[in-house]
Each structure stands twice: as structure tokens, then as C-alpha cells.
Structure 1
């Protein structure tokens, strides 16, 4: 499809990172804009010219024609420069005339010195594809792991009917941490699909459907 231009977006094969400091050019998700029929792909990205260690972004590319053989990299759709290092598995959702960008992130990839949000799925909405975007629910948080089990699921994906899938990450930790109990890395890792749930989108609000 396309590769990093090493101008807007980092060449990740030229950057090393430990967990929480990994750089991104991955997680592509296709989107066809109902407004004009053009084809796009959004992806997890890292900004090339950022002065910050936390330089995550949602990148976007547009197909040059309907063959989908040629693509043009565009400036990022969203930037978390200086705030968050990884906006993973981003995707675009169009509902009731509104564009939504959603992504997954983990609490330990927020920039040092900031109050970290929980591991969860976050999102923003806009009246058009290229913004301006505002955080859903005021904070951007759509769903999060419970405080009692902050690692239980990850990598949320919103399907066409607004049902949401993810995978079981580290379950049943009961207050224990992987740093203090490295034996749990294998024992408590799920690696299987998590139960589905459904969300509703209403303007700049997103919430769980409970029944």
C-alpha cells in the first residue's frame, strides 16, 4: 500500500523502543468517505519532527484512484504530541452525519508528568472528516478497564453495528503487577477474544448499551 515518508511520520524501522516507548506506523484501517466516495486508510503513527518523547498520532492516507494501488500520505488526522505515545488500532466510524475517530491506548503511554488516563478506548467527533475534532464525553474516554482489573482487555474495535470487540489481555490480576510478579506474564495472559459489548453514539456522546 504505502510506506512512511520519513517526513511527516517516523520510519519505525529506524527507531527502537521499550514497552511504552514504541513508535508506530501500523494498524491500518480502511474507510470510504460517504460524503465524496474517496478511499482512506487511518493508522497508528509517530510524528517525525516532534520534540517530545510522546509523539503519537492518527495518520491518514488517501487513495489516488479506485484501484487502491497508489496512496498519498496526508498530515495526521489527530495528534497527541506531548500527551500520549501510542494511539493504537485507530478507526473511523460514520454515524448519523458525524465522523468519529476511535483508538486504543494504555495508561503507561501517557507523557510523563501528566495525569494518565486509564487503559481504554478513546474517541473524538467532528462534522467532517478533517475536523475540527472534539473529545467524546468531554474527556475522550469511551470505555475503560475497571480499576480493579486495569489490564483485563485491550485493542478495541468498533464494528458496523456499533458492537465492540477486543482481546483478553491480563485477567485476574487481583491487584498484582507484572513487574512484581513476572511469573504472571504467561499465566494470566488471555490472548483470546473478549466478550462483545455495544455502544451508542449520539452527537458528541458515546455510551455503553446495557440492554
Structure 2
């Protein structure tokens, strides 16, 4: 029996529409699952992410201290006879203190010995900073905090010298701040479990006597 041409055309049209709908649905389902698989893959944690994040945060804190301290030093060295207006000195000093306070809060605290009173540490000399070590147990506890405290004292003395009538005190105060900043950088690099530098030709730090 031969079907009418109209019925054949209608059946073919229905089949085409049905295939089109189901095919589009399948493609849509496949497209929807692809981002989900990609998203799941991107959510995989980086190996040792916590340890690496601690290193990055240490470097960030260090940068937060270096910038305001160098801004203070630059302002003093460019000023006439190293003297700053009280308003400018106060603004620069506030930025320094805020940065040091933040870095100090993030620095590891030294372990306190029962019955031993806390002692204020003088400005550490470069020769007292330890050379790079393989065993982290050799790094003195609280080294970064001590260096930051000494830097805070030195910057305060520089601000006092730069706003006083005695300009002779400015130069030694600048030297003390530069030394204190170098010490803070070195203490942070030594005490924050950062990788040892591997730049070709870079000499190792001299060992303390």
C-alpha cells in the first residue's frame, strides 16, 4: 500500500523536528557539563599552598615596611639641611609606624622562658645577623621582631632629629635607619623559611664571628 505523499512529508518533518530537539538537548547537556569539569579541575589546590602562601605574605609584609621607611629617608635627604616640617614628618612617621606594627603583628613571637624578664634589644649590627643555614632550628627565635623593634626606634630618632634645631644629628640618624632597614630585611629573609638565593655569582653572607 502506498502512503499519501502528504503523510510521508508530515512524518519526515516530525522526525526531523524530533531529532533536532533531542540533538540540541544532548549538545546543551554536554556543554553544561564541560564548565563543571573545568571548574572542578581549577579548584584543585596548589601543592604546599599553605607554606608558599606564608612565604609570599612575609615578602609582602617586608615590602610594606621598606616603602614607607625609604620614603622617610628620601624626604630627609632631599630636605634643606635634612630638616622637615613637623606636619610632613608626622605624616611620614605615621606611615612607618603603621607598617612596622603590621609586620610585627605578623612576625613569629619569640618563645618566652619562665622567670626571665623581657629585655629590650639594641639596634642589631650586621655582624650579628646569622648566615643562611640549612637547619631552621639554628635561626634565633624572634629575630624579625627584634629587628623591626630596632628599626622603629631608629626611625623615631630620625624624625626627632629632622624636626629639631640640631641638624648634626640627622646624618647619624639616617645611617642608623638604613642599617636598621637592612637588618629587618635580612632577618625577614632568614626567619621566614624562604628559599635560599640561587643567583649565579651571588656570594654567601659572611659568617658571624
Same fold (TM over 0.5): no
TM-score (ref. length: structure 1) = 0.22
TM-score (ref. length: structure 2) = 0.22
Q: Would you tell me which structure has more helix in proportion to its own residues?
A: 2
The one of the two structures with greater contact order (alpha-carbon pairs below 8 A, sep at least 6) is 2
Q: Would you tell me which structure has more strand in proportion to its own residues?
A: 1
